[in-house]
Amino acid sequence: MITVVIKKEIQENLYSYKFMVITLLSVVLVLASFFVMHRDYAGRVEEYRLLKAEARGETAGTPPAPLSVFARGLDQTLSQQYRLLYGGDIIPGGNKESYNELFLMFPTPDPLYVVKVILAFCTILFSFNAVTGEKEAGTLRLSLSNGIRRADFLVGKWIGGFSCFILPFLVSLLLALFLLSFSPSIDLDFASWIRIGFFSLSSITYLAFFFSLGLLVSCLTQRASTALAVSLFLWVLLVFVAPNTGGILAAQLEPSPSLQQLDVKRTQIVFSGIVGTFEEANKERPEEDKMSLTVDMTKEKLAVDYANSLARQADMTRVLVGWSPPAAYTFLATDLAGTGLVEEKRFKQAVMQYSSLLLTLPRLQGGQGLRDPAPPFNYERTPLRDVLVSGGLVNLVVLLLESLLVFAGAALAFLRYDLR
Amino acid sequence: MIWSIAIKEFLDNILNLRFTVGLLLCVILVFACVTILTSDYRQRMASHHALKAMEEEFIGNYAAKTPLALYESAVKPPGALHPFITGLSPDGRNNSFSFYANPVPALFPTLDLVFIVSVLLSLLAVLFSYDSFSGERERGTLRLVAANQVSRAKILAGKWLGGIASLLVPFFVSIVLGALYVIIQPDIRWDDYTLLNLLLVLGVSVTFISVFYLLGLLVSSSFRHSHSSLITAVSLWVLFILVIPSLSPYLAAELYPIHAQVRRAQEINRLRKERDEKETRLIAECNEAFGRKYGRAFREYREMSGEERQQKAASDPEFGKMREAYLGERKKIQQETLSNMQEGIDKVNQELKDEAEKQKRTAKNLAAVSPYSDFLYAVTDLTETGLHNMDYFKRISSEYENIIDKYREIKGIPQRLYYDGSALDFSDHPRFTYREEPLRERLAVVLPWWGMLIVFNVVFFAGAFTAFLRYDVR
């Protein structure tokens, strides 16, 4: 009986206007997103390579992550060349004047965004009237008067509806992957393909959650228009409100000084270093090496403390919003792509450790430049095993459990649903 | 007749569950945002006062000892409307480039009134209006209304007015509650100017909400079935709110890529190398010239250490004169080569800036095809938290730096790390005070975007009218 319901659901959807519009939207958006992010990645890799060749002095950086094509996340920060100045300051190597701030005004249209926001929205449109629509059309009581169990009916509806929705997405995803595999700018090894597999699995699970949510709301309401309003408002709450409130709440619970306060405090250390050393030595040009090292180490400690307070804030954000499927999906996708909070923290720690190492190396007289060439900065992105162990699997399990929970809720609600 | 239709539409909407859910969500979200952002405002204000206190301390303790302490940083306090709108840049700067920037906002941007209006209220507007005509046609009431000798234009106008009025109820209720919450805070002062800014923001918001209500009416009057009009209306909403603005900067980057970034690095390295080579050559020529003029004395000078040279110059006036002339000549060479290099670097930087400006302008104009972008530009520029304010802040910071440079010259403070300025009085040190850009100038920037929203209103209204004229009401 389930297969009959599945077949019926698939046939109904295939001939519907809704299916045509949503399929077109999702295919076009997924492919456009991959195209745009691939071009962006290729441009950034080329720029990184050329800027690295031209860099003078000590620098620390890592090339853009190939999987940032899927989830750009924090890759803009991660793939910059940072210049490590005499004095322990770490400044971006690129030029701020060349940056188009419109990129900051609008969300990045990467596949993560397309799935998290747009396809989740489309999934709701697919499922909100799964039950209420049939009730209004009068076919629900006809279907269930034929001796089919309610649970079977709902499962059939879920499988039929979701497969209609997910199939175009999978086809466009596979097509995008096929084209990416031929791209000369992206080198995907075996581990990358495993990550892509996890990304695809998490995307499907995430969309399954929203499909089940639409179905749940449909089983709790009597009219399709009511189901639509409630579903869409839940979408707004889950996709935008819950994750985006986390950051600012975390800042209230784990406050840290502003970036400007950090800069000013570091400047204060420099001033007291300059003044103290000149007055103590009572010379016009005292031994700058000794003055520098004390100042640099104090500034470094300040920077490390600040970075740690931001890391605590980021961890608090994960705790506050990690339960919500969009946030869990964002954390998982960005961690898999090597562009997430975990990677960012690890990278910054590596750069600061490198900066500390440079402070200990002997300098030329006058302090300008190292006496001998510094060892190069080496950084490898987090291995997949560590990504999964440090929270990736937890996020995937959260998505899976919440999808099952919501479906269970829908099944329970449907058992008591008034079909008339 | 228009008013009867408007009242009917208004009552239909507010008695609908959609309205109740929307009202609740709006009120709760606005209130929650305002509460959290008010707390954030306090934190930022405290940070601002701490910064000013630290910089006063610099001037008090260090200005007389190191010229670097004269350079108080330009800091911008959070705007009075920060509890409602955080915008792109609350402090006037682009901090995303800093190594120490907070990574969380890049993944999860802060919620504020801009989000609530642009996502929630626009979606509500579409949900209220998508079945205005198609739904009434399906229920059979549209032909009854049309049969009563009411012109279609009046039906459309009445539906629009009634619908907008019903949307403004949750909007204004939540704004008033939010504003009351902020006003009763003892440490936040709102003056008439702030209220005027808020009213202007509300005006832009109403225009924006109306765009999406009219979009819903347009789609509804183009389809016979409410289900089809729903799918089309929300798909268009997705395109306008979620797709077009995000894709625009990338499209602009394809049309006008910035090559100057890499060229700049290559050119700067070339200029530096050139300068080093030229300086070495000129100094060698200078050494030769001095060697010919002063002979052995100059050769001895070259072999001495710095301290020895100072000591001999103090005891031998001729040697002192030669040393001074030589150092003067070297300084001249260094300044000349540095100035030439700087000229080259400035030219390359300007090229880079021009390319970036072109791309930015293109991205902005492409994104303006979406009403959401126009709304975002207008509101962030009105509240001094947008792109225009970042440029304005850069300009006034730069003016302040010039004032400090002139002040240093007037006081006769040398270009050294450390000096004895105990005799100088720094009580007249210029302080940076952020002054808001005059409203007139901000409006000049905002009006084109607001105008675009009005144009969208007119176009969608005209489209809905044209579609409804041919609509089969049976």
A202: three-class secondary structure by DSSP: helix
CA-nearest of A50, A35, A90, A44 to A66 is A44
CB atoms within 10 A of CB B339: 10
In the sheet where A59-60 sits, what is the strand order? A59-60, A82-84, A90-92
Q: How many residues does chain B have?
A: 474
**Residue A35 confidence (pLDDT) above 80:** yes
**Chain A residues with CB inside 8 Å of B119's CB?**
236, 240
Mean pLDDT of B137-162: 85
Mean pLDDT of B449-457: 97
**Residue A98 confidence (pLDDT) above 80:** no
Mean pLDDT of A401-416: 94
**Residue A133 confidence (pLDDT) above 70:** yes
Q: pLDDT higher for A280 or B141?
A: B141
% of chain A beyond a pLDDT of 90: 43
Mean pLDDT of A255-282: 78
pLDDT reported for residue B73 = 76
What is the residue-averaged pLDDT of chain A?
Answer: 87
pLDDT reported for residue A138 = 85
Which tokens sit at A114? 């397309």
Q: Are B181 and B142 in contact (CB under 8 A)?
A: no
CB atoms within 10 A of CB B377: 24
Q: Do A36 and B418 touch (CB under 8 A)?
A: no
pLDDT reported for residue A203 = 96
Task: Grade residue A149 by pLDDT with cuts at 50, 70 and 90.
Answer: confident
**Chain A residues with CB inside 8 Å of B106's CB?**
73-74, 76-77
| CB proximity list for A68: less than 8 A, separation 6 or greater | A37, A41, A75, A79, A110, A337, A338, A339
Task: Grade residue A286 by pLDDT with cuts at 50, 70 and 90.
Answer: low
**Chain B residues with CB inside 8 Å of A232's CB?**
123, 127
pLDDT reported for residue A261 = 82
pLDDT reported for residue A224 = 87
Measure in Å the smallest separation between the Cα of B470 and chain A Cα atoms. 22
**Residue A289 confidence (pLDDT) above 70:** no
Q: pLDDT higher for A370 or B322?
A: B322
Q: Tell me how many helices (H) and strands (E) chain B has.
A: 18, 0
DSSP B116: I
Q: pLDDT higher for A155 or B424?
A: A155
**Residue A378 confidence (pLDDT) above 60:** yes
Task: Grade residue B180 by pLDDT with cuts at 50, 70 and 90.
Answer: very high
pLDDT reported for residue A283 = 52
Q: Which of A106, A123, A253 to mutate to test the interface with B (most CBs of B within 10 A)?
A: A106
Question: Rounded distance, CA A115 to CA A108, Å?
Answer: 12
| CB proximity list for A33: less than 8 A, separation 6 or greater | A109, A110, A111, A113, A114
| CB proximity list for B361: less than 8 A, separation 6 or greater | none
Question: Rounded distance, CA A418 to CA B5, Å?
Answer: 35
pLDDT reported for residue B65 = 81
**Least confident window among A218-232, B257-271, B277-291:** B257-271
B1-57 pLDDT per residue, tens: 788 888 888 888 888 888 888 888 899 999 989 998 998 899 889 888 888 888 888
One-letter amino acid identity for B163?
Answer: G
pLDDT reported for residue A366 = 57
Task: Grade residue A166 by pLDDT with cuts at 50, 70 and 90.
Answer: very high
Q: Do B231 and A258 touch (CB under 8 A)?
A: no
Q: A with B: how many residue pairs have Cβ under 8 Å apart?
A: 275
Nearest to B25 among A29, A73, A233 (CB): A233
Q: Which of B44, B96, B246, B361 to mutate to test the interface with A (most CBs of A within 10 A)?
A: B246
pLDDT reported for residue A288 = 55
Q: Are A339 and A388 in contact (CB under 8 A)?
A: no
pLDDT reported for residue A367 = 56
Please name the residue of chain B whose CA is at the shortest distance from the CA of residue A307: B100
What is the residue-averaged pLDDT of chain B?
Answer: 88
Mean pLDDT of B161-181: 92
Nearest to B356 among A36, A100, A274 (CB): A100
Q: pLDDT higher for A274 or B359?
A: B359
Question: Rounded distance, CA A125 to CA A136, Å?
Answer: 17
**Chain A residues with CB inside 8 Å of B231's CB?**
17-18, 21-22, 125
Nearest to B232 among A21, A76, A228 (CB): A21
pLDDT reported for residue A287 = 57
Q: pLDDT higher for A368 or A225?
A: A225
**Residue B295 confidence (pLDDT) above 80:** yes
pLDDT reported for residue A281 = 60
Task: Grade residue B85 by pLDDT with cuts at 50, 70 and 90.
Answer: very high
pLDDT reported for residue B415 = 73
A407-414: long-range pairs with CB below 8 Å, 24+: A407/A158, A407/A212, A407/A215, A407/A216, A409/A216, A410/A154, A410/A158, A410/A212, A410/A215, A410/A216, A410/A218, A410/A219, A411/A151, A411/A154, A413/A216, A413/A219, A413/A220, A414/A131, A414/A150, A414/A151, A414/A153, A414/A154, A414/A219
Q: In terms of DSSP H, where are the helices of B221-316?
A: 226-238, 244-255, 260-294, 296-303, 306-315
A379-394 pLDDT per residue, tens: 999 999 999 998 889 9
Element spanning A60, H or E: strand A59-60
Which tokens sit at A410? 């829908």
Burial class (CB in 10 A: 0-12, 13-18, 19+), B279: middle
First to last CA, chain A: 22
A6: three-class secondary structure by DSSP: helix
A339-360 pLDDT per residue, tens: 999 999 999 999 999 988 888 8
Question: Rounded distance, CA B232 to CA B226, Å?
Answer: 10
Which tokens sit at B337? 């080569």
Beta strand A82-84 pairing with A90-92: antiparallel
Measure in Å the smallest separation between the Cα of B100 and chain A Cα atoms. 7
CA-nearest of A83, A65, A365 to A186 is A65
**Chain B residues with CB inside 8 Å of A243's CB?**
108
Please name the residue of chain A whose CA is at the shortest distance from the CA of residue B110: A244
Question: Rounded distance, CA A70 to CA A59, Å?
Answer: 27
CB atoms within 10 A of CB B262: 19
Distance of CA B276 to the CA centre of its chain: 40
Task: Grade residue A88 by pLDDT with cuts at 50, 70 and 90.
Answer: confident
Question: Rounded distance, CA B21 to CA A44, Å?
Answer: 45
pLDDT reported for residue A365 = 61
| CB proximity list for B394: less than 8 A, separation 6 or greater | none
Mean pLDDT of A318-338: 94
Measure in Å the smallest separation between the Cα of A113 and chain B Cα atoms. 9
A293-309 pLDDT per residue, tens: 677 778 888 888 888 88
Q: Do B109 and A244 touch (CB under 8 A)?
A: yes
Mean pLDDT of A86-113: 80
The b/e string for B12-41 (b: 16+ C-beta within 10 A; e otherwise) is bbbebebbebbbebbbebbeebbebbbbbb
Measure in Å the smallest separation between the Cα of B424 and chain A Cα atoms. 17
Task: Grade residue A402 by pLDDT with cuts at 50, 70 and 90.
Answer: very high
Mean pLDDT of B183-195: 89
pLDDT reported for residue A293 = 67
The residue with tokens 């869409």 is: A232
Measure in Å the smallest separation between the Cα of B1 and chain A Cα atoms. 28
Question: Rounded distance, CA B63 to CA A271, Å?
Answer: 10
Structural Rg of chain A based on CA atoms: 27
Q: Do B250 and A36 touch (CB under 8 A)?
A: yes
pLDDT reported for residue B2 = 82
**Chain A residues with CB inside 8 Å of B272's CB?**
56
DSSP A363: B
Which tokens sit at A278? 């000149």
Mean pLDDT of A127-131: 90
Mean pLDDT of A206-221: 95
B206-264 pLDDT per residue, tens: 999 999 999 999 999 999 888 889 999 999 999 999 999 999 999 999 898 887 667 77
DSSP A135-162: HHHTHHHHHHTTS--HHHHHHHHHHHHH
